[in-house]
Amino acid sequence: MNIVKQIATAVMILAAGAAQAQTADEIIQKHIDAIGGKKWDNIHSMKMSGGLSVQGMEVSMSQTVEDNKGMRMDLSILGNNCYTIITPKEGWVYMPIQPGMDKVTPMTEDELKMSQYKLNVRGVQIADKSLISKSDYLGIDSVNGVACYKVKVADKGGNLQTAYFDTKNYYLVRSESLVKIQDQEQEMGIDFSNFKTLPEGITMAMVWGTPQGDVTLKSIEVNKKYDDAIFKPGK
């Protein structure tokens, strides 16, 4: 970053910090209002479909969530169909592209507990305060040149994330959390952009920037009914 950009960023952060102090709870509530507020109460299921480009390889993906019933993520990689399924009582992973994962593997009790937030269509969006056990305001920071309120959020499953909300529109533009990959904890950062308001009145990011590449959502289907069979392995 050159000196001009450094100065511009510093001025922007100072200007944002000069605004009236807010609590973490107030920031989260303004975020919820900005992305649809109570209209999220009418959302009971969601299917997001899109793709990811990794080192020139195209990966198609879809994630289906039915509130408090099941979550299923499907990936198609080099002709292999992979999936992760989570329900209130059980979870499974099938990743034949990875050594030792060519059979359906049940989740451990801890893995299942920490994944329960994924059963709520509003969980990833931080659009449901009932999922939050604690939140702390950490001050003003900058994400890709955007001044953001920085808030640490703990959910009731024990997951921690640091959320960055745009000071102008309160959209969530970045989330940082610890995830377990092959029994090792790694920090995962996701940048959210290209926000779109759906016909149902809720606003979502259509591009999720990850270390592996950008996930671009092509479609979001809301409030469809799904066969219980999709939340069982082998289906």
Fold annotation for 3-231: outer membrane lipoprotein receptor (LolB), chain A (2.50.20)
Residues with Cβ within 8 Å of 120's Cβ and at least 6 positions away in sequence, in order, are 65, 67, 68, 128, 131
Q: Per the confidence metrics, is the pTM higher than 0.85?
A: no
* Across 210-233, average pLDDT: 92
pLDDT at 187 over 90: no
> Would you place residue 177 in the very low, low, confident or very high pLDDT band (cuts 50, 70, 90)?
confident
Q: Which residue has the tokens 């001050």?
A: 139
Backbone angles phi, psi at 63, to 5 degrees: -130, 125
32-58 pLDDT, tens per residue? 999 999 999 999 999 999 998 777 778
User: Three-state secondary structure along 154-214?
Assistant: EECCCCEEEEEEECCCCCEEEEEEEEEECCEEEEEEEEEEEEEECCCCCEEEEEEEECCEE
Question: Domain residues of the chain, as ranges?
Answer: 3-231
Q: Output the average pLDDT for the chain.
A: 86
More confident site: 70 or 183:
70
pLDDT score for 11: 44
> Would you place residue 7 in the very low, low, confident or very high pLDDT band (cuts 50, 70, 90)?
very low
> Would you place residue 157 in the very low, low, confident or very high pLDDT band (cuts 50, 70, 90)?
confident
128-152 pLDDT, tens per residue? 888 899 999 999 999 999 999 999 9
Please check whether residue 176 is in contact with residue 192, taking contact to mean a CB–CB distance below 8 angstroms: no
The one-letter code for the residue type at 199 is: P
* Across 150-166, average pLDDT: 90
88-139 pLDDT, tens per residue? 999 999 988 777 777 899 999 988 988 888 898 886 678 888 889 999 999 9
pLDDT score for 179: 62
The residues that bridge with 222 in the sheet, in sequence order, are: 46
> Would you place residue 61 in the very low, low, confident or very high pLDDT band (cuts 50, 70, 90)?
very high
pLDDT score for 143: 93
SS3 call for 108: coil
SS3 call for 119: helix
Residues with Cβ within 8 Å of 21's Cβ and at least 6 positions away in sequence, in order, are none
> Would you place residue 158 in the very low, low, confident or very high pLDDT band (cuts 50, 70, 90)?
confident
* Across 178-198, average pLDDT: 79
SS3 call for 189: strand
